[in-house]
Amino acid sequence: MEPAERGATRIADRVVAKIASQAAREALGDAATEGRTPPYATVTVHEDAARVRVSVELGYPSDLAAGCAGVRRRIVERVGALAGMEVPEVAVTVERLHSAQTRARARSGERVR
């Protein structure tokens, strides 16, 4: 029996979303875990292509464009390698910016305005 006649493997959207979330965490490094909400991804899969939307929190001041570009690159690499899918679109939403002052206040329990 030919491989095409046996069927196809379908990877669930939520699995691809978990891969994308982990890839965003990897791209952000330790900054993704320092009192921040971890990156969250949603995915729409159509055939062998995944469109990804990911929400992240970034440090401030920093090069926001470079941070978002790094997240995009890592998601494209990891989804391609682990799920075998093309990623023609990665939309990165920056939900919150964190400075050293807001991190210190959050650790001390002081309310940040």
Break the chain into its structural domains and give their ranges. Answer: 3-108
The DSSP H or E segment spanning 56 is strand 49-59
- Helix extents (H) in the chain: 3-6, 13-28, 64-83, 100-108
pLDDT value of residue 82: 95
Residue 101 has pLDDT above 70, yes or no: no
pLDDT band of residue 84 (cuts 50, 70, 90) is very high
pLDDT band of residue 2 (cuts 50, 70, 90) is confident
86-98: strand order across its sheet: 40-46, 49-59, 86-98
pLDDT band of residue 59 (cuts 50, 70, 90) is confident
Pick the CATH number of 3-108 from 4.10.640.10, 3.30.420.10, 3.90.1530.30, 3.30.70.1350: 3.30.70.1350
What is the identity of the amino acid at 13?
A: D
CA 97 to CA 36: how far, in whole Å? 10
Residue with the bigger pLDDT between 54 and 103: it is 54
